[in-house]
Amino acid sequence: MKLLLLSGRDVHALLGYRECADAMRGALIALQAGQAQMPLRTVIRPEGAAGLVALMPSYLEGAGGEGAAAYGLKAICITPANPAAGLDTHQGVVLLSSGATGEPLALLNASAVTEIRTAAVSVVATDVLARPDADVLAVIGTGVQARSHVLALQEARDLREVRLAGRTPERARELAASLADEVAAPVRACGSAEEAVATAGIVVTATSSATPVLQSGWLAPGTHVNAVGACLPTDRELDTATMASGVLFADRRDSLLTESGDYVLAAAEGAVSPAQIRAELGQVLAGEAPGRQAGDEITIFESLGLAVEDLAAARCAYDQAAVTGGGTWIDF
C-alpha cells in the first residue's frame, strides 16, 4: 500500500484557492443532497490545558460528484497562544481513506488544509451573499486566516481596496506590507476595526478574540460578513446587536446552533432565534433557499468549518498530486 504524505508546503503548492472553492461548492451541495455524512465534531478541552483537540470524521459519495467515494478524518489541536510563538493556532493532520476499501490514501498537514479551505468557503459564501458591486474588503485580524482570506477573495473579486485592522496597528501594517506585491488592489492598514469596516461591502472577522471585535453601528447597509474566528460557544467576534440586525447563514445549521459563540451568546440574551437562520449555504447553492433578498440586508455567514470540507479539500490535493506530482509516497 502506498501512502501520500503532504506537508504544509505541498498542500499550498497543490491546492489553489479557485480549485478549492470549486471543491467546497461540490461538497456543500453533496451534503445538502444527502451524499455526504458527518457528525458534529467531538471536542475535548481539558481544564488547565493550553488549548483543545477536535476530531472531525466524514464520508463523501463520489468525492462531491467526481471520482471515488472517500472517508476523511481531521484531528486538530487549537492553541490560542500559538501566534505569539510564530505558529498557526491550528495544528494537526487530515487522513484521507478509500471509500471502497478503507485503505489510507494520504496524510495531509491540517494547518494548511484548514487555512485554504476556510478561505475558499468564504469565497463561496461571498459569491452568493454579497452584493455584486461590493468591491471593498475589510479584514479584522492579522494572522494566517486574515492573510488567506485576502488572497482568496482578491482572486474571486475585482476589489477596489483592501483594509486591514488588528490587535495593534503595527501588526496590521506588517500584514499590509507583506501582501502589497501579491494583491492587485491597494492594501491599507487601519488604526481600528471601525475605520476598516466603514463603507466596506465585504467584511471578514478572522481573530482569536473571545469578545466582540465588530459592532453593528460600524456596518453600512448591505454589508456581507464572513464570521470566521469564533468556533467555540464561549467565544464571539460579533456583538449581539450585529447578530440581531443581520440575516444569518450557516455552513450547517446544527453547528451554528451549538458551536457558534456569536449565535449562542446572542441567543442567551434573547436577541436571536433559529428562525433568523435563513438557510445553510448548501441550500442556497442548490437553489433550494434564497440568499440575499435585498440590497440593504446585512448578511452574516457563520463559518464553523465542516469535516466534509476538509475531506473535499484533501481529495482535491490528492488528485492534483496524482496528476502533477508533489508530496512523498511511502510504503505503508
Measure the CA–CA gap between 287 and 141, rounded to whole angstroms. Answer: 32
Q: What is the pLDDT at residue 304?
A: 94
Q: Indicate if 143 and 99 belong to the same structural domain.
A: no
pLDDT tens digits for 56-74? Answer: 999 999 754 456 899 999 9
**CATH code (residue 102):** 3.30.1780.10
CA distances (Å), 326 to each of 7, 46, 246, in order? 10, 37, 43
Q: Indicate if 9 and 60 belong to the same structural domain.
A: yes
CB 17 within 8 Å of CB 182: no
Q: Indicate if 297 and 323 belong to the same structural domain.
A: no
Question: Which stretches of 180-272 are DSSP H helices?
Answer: 193-197, 240-245, 253-259, 261-268
Q: Indicate if 292 and 194 belong to the same structural domain.
A: yes
Contacts of 126 (CB under 8 A, 6+ apart): 134, 153, 156, 157, 202, 224, 226, 301
Q: What is the pLDDT at residue 90?
A: 84
Q: Indicate if 68 and 210 belong to the same structural domain.
A: no
Q: Indicate if 168 and 139 belong to the same structural domain.
A: yes
Q: Which residues of the chain have pLDDT under 50?
A: 64-65
Q: How many domains does the chain have?
A: 2
Instruction: Determine which helix (DSSP H) or strand (DSSP E) holds 127, and give its type and residue range.
Output: helix 110-129
Q: Indicate if 177 and 297 belong to the same structural domain.
A: yes
Domain that holds residue 24: 2-114+307-331
The tally of CA atoms less than 13 A away on the side-chain side of residue 314 is 35
Q: Indicate if 146 and 36 belong to the same structural domain.
A: no
CB 261 within 8 Å of CB 234: yes
Q: Indicate if 159 and 297 belong to the same structural domain.
A: yes
**CATH code (residue 267):** 3.40.50.720
Measure the CA–CA gap between 303 and 251, rounded to whole angstroms. Answer: 6
pTM: 0.94
Residues β-bridged to residue 224: 202, 299
Q: What is the pLDDT at residue 85?
A: 84
The grid coordinates of residue 273 equal 432565534
Q: What is the pLDDT at residue 67?
A: 61
In total, the chain counts a number of residues equal to 332
Q: What is the pLDDT at residue 150?
A: 98
CB 51 within 8 Å of CB 77: yes
Residues β-bridged to residue 330: 3
Q: Indicate if 15 and 80 belong to the same structural domain.
A: yes
The grid coordinates of residue 54 equal 477536535
pLDDT tens digits for 91-123? Answer: 999 999 999 999 999 999 999 999 999 999 999
Phi, psi of 94 (to 5 degrees): -120, 125
Q: What is the pLDDT at residue 64?
A: 45
Q: Indicate if 317 and 225 belong to the same structural domain.
A: no
Q: Indicate if 175 and 101 belong to the same structural domain.
A: no
